[in-house]
Amino acid sequence: MDTAKLILAGKEYEFPVVVGSEGEVGIDITTLRAKTGAITLDSGYGNTGSCKSSICFIDGEQGILRYRGYEIADLAEHASFVEVAHLLIYGELPNKDQLATFREKLTRHSMIHEDMKKFYEGYPPTAHPMAVLSSMAASLSTYYPPVPGEDSDQHIIRLLAKTKTIAAYAYKKSIGQPTIYPQNDLSYCANFLRMIHAVPCEEYQVNELWVKALNKLLILHADHEQNCSTSTVRIVGSSQANLYATISAGICALWGPLHGGANQSVLEMLEQIRSDGANYKKYVDMAKDKNSGFKLMGFGHRVYKNFDPRATILKKTCDEVLGQLGINDPLLDIAKKLEEVALNDSFFIERKLYPNVDFYSGIIYRAMGIPTNMFTVMFALGRLPGWIAHWKEQNEDSGSRINRPRQVYTGPTVRSFLPIEKR
Ligand code: CMC
């Protein structure tokens, strides 16, 4: 199986077949237009391989997700988010020395320039933190302008280290509290939690259970091959836009409710169901009715067709965290009942719709005292190393070109221009 044949207008063409390290088969149509004059049409890119990548492997039928060959369950159980960030960006899990150096760099670069704090004064307190996050990410390029041809590692470190501080400041500003500087003796996750929860007038105690849960959540979100935001990062990065601008675009793409914004929408949906008397069957019926415009948020996935391995881990984590904290959240009960009803309904069974990563993550964030409008920011913090890894891989690929799809034009054919008085 090393070539594929296409017959178009009675003429036969051959195209090479590319096989990935896990046996995935792709038909290389790079020469399609030159040979045949035709292009492919693939709405939503469901059948299009946009690149070769060695970062993340997903088998949606089997529910497999691996980062650089490591099973997601192993990483979530045994690694820290910083180790996983190293794995994704540099290709290997760090040894002790590498980890210490990486951690030290992330710590040393975690403050943002004092002048950048003034930007926050311009945003209204109601500003969505995703808007602030993407603007601030792009603004980093004004303080640390990348120079073409320089080593990008310093920018990668800065972006990774500062984004959590930027995110925490966005939250603090939105609730009218003073921002809290990062504290160098704390880990990445502990530092972030302190920056959002601490207040200057009180002693802050790191909650190790939250730190563990946050590490897991961020690891589960850290990469997911060519999803909408990562593809955005690759598209924007392909024009050689700088790292900060590119990641800012990725953050915006993530914000939408069909992608990372779904975690906020899930919580809002669960709240709505609760205030409607917990009538979850009504909402399942609404989701089945195409005219209702309602979807079960946190359900379905383009790639996973049996289960989302991240959701399986998160459901268990959710029970553990809430159990250990002694929290009895009625939204968790509604979520479980909703899941049960949907998974036994032929509409969802036939369409292979299962809970995805966003279904349970919000309930854990809520238990940690993280407000709903910060959920997608949490997703962005987790996805950051994945975006950076894809940007770096693309940048280091000498064969990569500017991403520029084509289209099948369906508008009017040539028309004569009429001056305004004749229209
Ligand atoms: N509720 C009800 N019906 C659904 C849902 C849902 N959540 N998801 C898909 N369907 C139906 C859809 O209407 C279609 O039905 P039919 O074949 O009769 O027209 C069928 O299932 C296939 O759906 P699709 O929209 O063609 O699938 P897609 O691959 O284009 O979209 C999705 C995937 C995730 C955008 C979609 O399932 C969805 O909108 N889910 C809700 C939003 C959500 O939870 N997003 C987070 C995704 S996971 C985090 C991430 O990586 O971004």
pLDDT in tens, 47-88: 999 999 999 999 999 999 999 999 999 999 999 999 999 999
Based on the fold, state whether residues 293 and 163 are members of the same structural domain: no
User: Is there a domain that residue 139 lies in?
Assistant: yes
- Enzyme catalytic residues: 301, 358
Q: Is 308 left (phi over 0), alpha (psi -120 to 50) or beta?
A: beta
Report d(CA 261, CA 315) in Å as an integer.
Answer: 19
* Cα distance between the two ends of the chain: 58
Query: Dihedral of the CA atoms 218, 220, 221, 222 (nearest 10)?
Result: 80
Binding pocket residue ranges, ligand 1, CB within 6 Å? 44, 224, 227, 258-260, 262, 287, 295-302, 351, 353, 356-358
What's the pLDDT score for residue 306? 87
Burial 77-102 (b: 16+ CB within 10 A, else e): eebbbbbbbbbbbbeebbeeeeeeeb
Q: Considering only CA atoms, which residue is closest to atom 29 of ligand 1? A: 302
User: Is there a domain that residue 39 lies in?
Assistant: yes
Does pLDDT of 149 surpass 90? no
Provide the pairing of β-strand 3-8 with 11-19.
antiparallel
Which ligand 1 atom sits nearest the alpha carbon of residue 356?
48
% of the chain at pLDDT higher than 70:
100
Mean pLDDT, the chain, integer? 96
Based on the fold, state whether residues 119 and 213 are members of the same structural domain: yes
Does pLDDT of 1 surpass 90? no
Residue 70: exposure state from Cβ atoms within 10 A (0-12, 13-18, ≥19): middle
User: Is there a domain that residue 219 lies in?
Assistant: yes
Query: Which range marks the domain in which residue 153 is found?
Result: 68-255
Answer whether 236's CB lies under 8 Å from 246's CB.
Answer: yes
% of the chain at pLDDT higher than 90:
95
Nearest-CA neighbor of 303 among 67, 61, 136?
Answer: 61
Based on the fold, state whether residues 202 and 133 are members of the same structural domain: yes
**Number of domains into which the chain is organized:** 3
Pick the last residue of a domain from 351, 367, 383. 367
Two structure tokens written together for 120: 């926050």
CA distances from 136 to 167, 172, 213, 320 (A): 9, 15, 27, 35
User: Is there a domain that residue 385 lies in?
Assistant: no
Answer whether 167's CB lies under 8 Å from 377's CB.
Answer: yes
Which ligand 1 atom sits nearest the alpha carbon of residue 308?
48
Pick the last residue of a domain from 229, 255, 281. 255
- Long-range CB contacts (< 8 A, 24+ apart) of 56-59? 56/88, 56/223, 56/224, 56/225, 56/386, 57/22, 57/225, 58/224, 58/225, 58/303, 58/304, 59/22
CA of 387 to the centre of ligand 1 (A): 23
Residue 181 CA, chain-centre distance (Å), reads: 26
Residue type, 381: L
CA of 100 to the centre of ligand 1 (A): 42
Based on the fold, state whether residues 242 and 136 are members of the same structural domain: yes
pLDDT in tens, 93-140: 999 999 999 999 999 999 999 999 999 999 998 999 999 999 999 999
Does pLDDT of 245 surpass 80? yes
State the CATH number of the domain containing residue 17.
2.20.28
Answer whether 102's CB lies under 8 Å from 82's CB.
Answer: yes
Residue 21: exposure state from Cβ atoms within 10 A (0-12, 13-18, ≥19): exposed
User: Is there a domain that residue 423 lies in?
Assistant: no
Based on the fold, state whether residues 146 and 267 are members of the same structural domain: no
User: Is there a domain that residue 218 lies in?
Assistant: yes
Which ligand 1 atom sits nearest the alpha carbon of residue 229?
52
CA of 18 to the centre of ligand 1 (A): 29
pLDDT in tens, 162-207: 999 999 999 999 899 999 999 999 999 999 999 999 998 999 999 9
pLDDT in tens, 203-229: 999 999 999 999 999 999 999 999 999
State the CATH number of the domain containing residue 105.
1.10.580.10
User: Is there a domain that residue 409 lies in?
Assistant: no
Using DSSP's 3-state secondary structure scheme, residue 56 falls into strand
Based on the fold, state whether residues 85 and 208 are members of the same structural domain: yes
